[in-house]
Amino acid sequence: MTLSLFDQFMSPWYMGLPLMALSLVLPWMLFPTPTLRWLNNRMLTFQGWFIARFTQQTFLPLNVGGHKWALLFTSLMVFLITLNMLGLLPYTFTPTTQLSLNLGLAVPLWLATVIIGLRNQPTAALGHLLPEGTPTPLIPVLIVIETISLFIRPVALGVRLTANLTAGHLLIQLVSMAVFVLLPMMPTVAVLTAVLLLMLTLLEVAVAMIQAYVFVLLLSLYLQENV
Q: What is the pLDDT of residues 46-91, one digit of tens each?
A: 888 888 888 888 877 777 777 888 888 888 988 899 888 888 888 7
| Among 1-15, 112-126, 154-168, the least confident range | 1-15
Is the pLDDT confidence value at 1 over 50? no
Q: Cα(80)–Cα(177) distance, rounded to whole angstroms?
A: 28
Q: Cα(102)–Cα(9) distance, rounded to whole angstroms?
A: 14
Each as own residue / partner, the long-range contacts of residues 49-54 (CB below 8 Å, 24 or more positions apart, any chain) are 51/78, 54/213
Instruction: Using alpha carbons, select from 211, 182, 218, 209 the residue that is nearest to residue 197.
Output: 182
Is the pLDDT confidence value at 112 over 60? yes
Q: Which residues contact 218 (CB under 8 A, 6 or more apart)?
A: 153, 157
pLDDT score, position 107: 94
Instruction: Using alpha carbons, select from 79, 66, 67 the residue that is nearest to residue 105.
Output: 79
| Among 136-150, 179-193, 206-220, the least confident range | 136-150
Domain ranges of the chain: 20-33+41-226
pLDDT score, position 152: 93
For range 212-223, the mean pLDDT: 90
Q: What is the pLDDT of residues 32-57, one digit of tens each?
A: 777 777 777 787 888 888 888 888 88
pLDDT score, position 2: 46
Q: What is the pLDDT of residues 145-202, one digit of tens each?
A: 888 888 999 999 999 999 999 888 888 888 888 888 888 888 888 899 999 989 999 9
- The radius of gyration of the chain's CA atoms, rounded to the nearest angstrom, is 22
Q: How many CB atoms lie within 10 A of CB 168?
A: 23
**Residue 208 dihedral angles phi and psi, to the nearest 5°:** -60, -40
What is the crossing angle of helices 99-120 and 70-86, to 10°? Answer: 170
Is the pLDDT confidence value at 213 over 80? yes
For range 106-119, the mean pLDDT: 90
Q: Distance from first CA to last CA of the chain, Å, rounded?
A: 55
Instruction: Using alpha carbons, select from 213, 214, 215, 211 the residue that is nearest to residue 203.
Output: 211
For range 2-10, the mean pLDDT: 62
